[in-house]
Amino acid sequence: MKNSIFIIFTFISFSISSQQIDFEKTFGKKNVETLNLLIENFETKTLKKQYPNLKTENSYKKFLKNILKNNSVKERRIFVENNLKLNIYCVSDSVWIEERKLSSGKKGEMIKTKYKCLNPSGEIIYTSSTSYCCSEKTETLSLLKKSKNRVQINISGLYIKALKQITNKSKFIESYIENIEITGEPITPYAMSEYILNNNIDMNDYFVKRLIFINMVYR
């Protein structure tokens, strides 16, 4: 019986290790090292500081519970633009206002955003989006300001490609990929926190930590 348990445990451990290797191989050594360092800093300099008496797993839970309580993430930061960021996100390259003619014959405005990111070959690619706005100039300028820090998920980048390489994906990872492929946007912190806590997702899981950090904190 003990031997059977040991064999099952060894198989599970090997499977998890194999999945991590597949992810890191696809994502790239430099990206992995940078992300690992960011997560280490988040755990030691943010979570540990806020929740000094809690183990790492429980500090993640407390972090998510606070998001549900406040419906905001005060720990979110705008990080410098680098290869890691451009492999995960398409970031705003330029934003401008254009005039448009409404069906009523009146003139309105729209905000155009040009995004840039990296394809799997490391080449910069561009996408664009349009936001139709607004009746008041102040509203338009407010949206313009927000658009400068807005990001889209880099659907064709190494990050998503690496997640898709994982064999035997958990339901959580499958749901994550499915949602961002539909919307092209990061999942709202509230929705992700609720899903993780309600489904008792393992906070010590290698991939769960990365999805939490990227979706909640990293911009």
Q: For residue range 43-99, what is the model confidence (pLDDT) as tens digits?
A: 999 999 999 999 999 999 999 999 999 999 999 999 999 999 999 999 999 999 988
pTM of the predicted structure, to 2 decimals: 0.86
Instruction: At 187, list the tokens.
Output: 């999942």
pLDDT < 70 regions, the chain: 1-16, 135
User: How far is it, in rounded angstroms, from Cα 176 to Cα 214?
Assistant: 12
Hunting for tokens 């990872």 — which residue is that? 173
